[in-house]
Structure 1
């Protein structure tokens, strides 16, 4: 497996384990184009002095009460809403950090844009205006730069992040959805000491339980075999999350990086031409690829039981229409609808 490890793992996308995730609304989608085309996200309440926010980092201090009181006295929000908005401003200022992931929705959440935060808060003193609910509002003054990396149609993620989409707050922490978000940015990624592989099942009809069992049995068999091949003593550190009836995704998580990469390689070697993996800085690898894929072929050739099991694995993949998530490399500035094409 030396060739496989050398040319595969070092190029797999690495995710900072300290990264956080945020869902930031865009005034009912009215500012989606503005956020996307100008590479930022922002929060309103421009009349709230920025210094008041900076002085209010600790909710236990009187400065936080001053922030609440200012919002209560200088906006249309009632006392309870003033507290909520004070916390929203602090979340935006102190919670959303450089390298965090943000998701922002268009109108009706038809399009979801995902990006990486690239700056601390900055103030735009001439923000401009937009029409909202029949009147003109100032565009958000308080902003953070964002590099938008990918967009999705709502139906791609709706079932998985329904709870997040139902949140009406301007800024919502989305940490509990981190694996879903990262798994839709690329099929394979490493976070901390663990590796994750997301697999798409594209079957339209209900999943046959026996077929699914064959597929899962193959996964665990080959995971065990790759662990033995790489000398991992604890080869049962594999977790599989399945949330599907027909079309859906399953996620594999393990500490044995070589084993998960081996499974991904086996999927690529399938005779199904749709099965391919794009690894960041390497490009698309499919069919009879060379380098690390050849080492996966050698892995199969060295053991007759593996060859037999692999035929079962391929057959179950074809029946379930299994493949890694499409476009596994992060897309930059490639919206799903040209309406939202980012201006260069």
Structure 2
């Protein structure tokens, strides 16, 4: 993979990843979940050792009767299913959407464990639940009394300045279960987690539009089309667009059959949108900077092939193949340079007018790119 492309560090999510929503009991456990990096589920009387994914009818009936008697549950079967799901169906690497009344967090799910504190009794869990029913979320606090837990690794906690897809928000609002399957909303979850992500061979790039005023149609059209052209090597018909744009909101571009090693066009697109003054570097002409990066990349590619071409080991057939590769490199160089001339400036202008901003998870450190170029320059 190209050294500069590695700087993008695009998250790649496994195809078998599942997505879950976990509620933090009216939000009272949310801060503790974030601080101590775990999620948990109730019904302390049911432990993992007591259940399995293949309970017999009699085992299931006994457990449901016990849950009903202990917790006065009207639907003990639903409670039992949540315990089984939390212990056995959630797996390391799945993604959790953790919600309270007003906040949302995204996290990788980790291994299961049971908290061994002797204070976390069945009675304590029931008592905390009763107190929460009458509590004021603005003034009252509680410590999570649940023993069934999973470690998490936080990806992102949405702040007041962040937007969330109204479709995902609607799904969350409609579902008040403590644990729910969100696989139907996988793409919306991922675009909330990451600005750029690769999942099931599809690259999803989410641009966060922060403009609160009305949006000019030309700005939106220029932004979508120019970004699509740069991302796809001027094949915009291969790019899908989705918007949850409600000023502010998101513009989502997707490309199928995307390979991480071909991420260089994404770097060009990001440079056009987010370029400017970074660190100690002042970009008087972002177009010139982008072209310099393009030329640097293709010069490096040419050097590798030319060295091989000079090798005595390369036979005639390989020499012809290498010659064709050099011609292809020049063709791609000209294509990307002409695309920058045509689309980078209108894209940058539209991005500025739309107030497109990267999240903290996807800010490209352009200084690393410039430093990388300087280190690779031969001594004078």
- Give TM-score, length-normalised by structure 2: 0.67
Which structure has the larger Rg over C-alpha atoms?
Answer: 2
Give the 5 Å matches for 1:10-29: 11-29=9-27
Gaps of 5+ in 1: 228-234, 277-286, 330-344
* CA deviation after TM superposition for structure 1 residue 145, in Å: 1.6
Is residue 170 from structure 1 mapped to residue 171 from structure 2 by the alignment?
no
Distance 2:49 2:213 in 1: 57
2: CA distance, partners of 1:50 / 1:26: 21
Residue 218 in structure 1 maps to residue 226 in structure 2: yes
Contact 2:165-2:250 at 8 Å conserved across structures: no
Match of 2:359 in 1: 325
Q: 2:258 aligns with which of 248, 256, 259?
A: 256
Secondary structure of 1:113's counterpart equals strand
Q: Provide the residue aligned with 1:156 in structure 2.
A: 163
> Which shifted more, 239-248 or 148-157?
148-157
Residues in 2 aligned to 1:163 and 1:146: alpha-carbon distance in whole angstroms: 24
Say whether the 8 Å CA contact 2:294–2:336 is kept in structure 1: no
Structure 2, unaligned stretches of length 5 or more?
133-141, 280-285, 300-331, 364-380
2:248 and 2:221 map into 1 onto residues whose CA distance is 16
Cα distance in structure 1, aligned partners of 2:130 and 2:246: 40
- Residues 126-183 of structure 1 deviation map (CA, whole Å, 9 limit, x = unaligned): 2545744438998111111222333113663273522343221110112233223322
Cα 1:132–1:187 change in 2 (3 A) is: same
More helix by share: 2
Alignment of 1:113-152 (within 5 A): 113-128=105-120, 129=124, 131-134=128-131, 139-152=145-158
1:279 alignment counterpart:
none
Q: Pairwise CA RMSD of aligned residues?
A: 3.6
Q: What do the CA deviations read for 1:308-332 (whole angstroms, capped 9, x no partner)?
A: 3332222222222224334327xxx
Aligned residue for 1:232?
A: none
Give the counterpart of 2:61 among 52, 58, 65.
65
1:208 to 198, 201, 216: 216
Counterpart in the other structure of 1:242 = 243
2:320 is matched with: none
Residues 30-109 of structure 1: pairs in structure 2 closer than 5 A: 30-54=28-52, 57-58=53-54, 61-78=57-74, 81-106=75-100, 108-109=101-102
Q: How does 1:259-338 map to 2 (within 5 A)?
A: 261-270=264-273, 273=276, 288=289, 295=297, 299=333, 303-304=337-338, 306-328=340-362
Report which stretch shifted further, 130-139 or 94-103.
Answer: 130-139
| 1:193 aligned residue | 201
Give the Cα separation in 2 of the matches to 1:226 and 1:209: 22
Contact residue 127 and residue 138 of structure 1 kept, 8 A:
no
Instruction: Compare relative contact order (CA 8 Å, sep 6+) and give the higher one, 1 or 2.
Output: 1
Relative distance call for 1:292 and 1:143 in structure 2 (3 A) is farther
Q: Secondary structure at the match of 1:37?
A: helix
**Inter-partner Cα distance in structure 1 for 2:342 and 2:144:** 66
Quick check: 288-297 or 157-166, which moved more? Answer: 288-297
More strand by share: 1
State the alpha-carbon separation in 2 of the partners of residues 147 and 273 from structure 1. 33
Partner SS for 1:309? helix
Deviations 1:199-243 (A, max 9, x none): 11122222222332222222333344356xxxxxxx743221112
How has the CA–CA distance of structure 1 residues 35 and 99 changed in structure 2, closer, same or farther, with 3 Å as cutoff? same
Task: Render the CA deviation track for 1:79-112: whole Å, top value 9, x for unaligned.
Answer: xx21211221122112211111123234x23x32
Q: Is the 8 A contact 1:58 1:64 kept in 2?
A: no
Instruction: Give TM-score, length-normalised by structure 1.
Output: 0.74
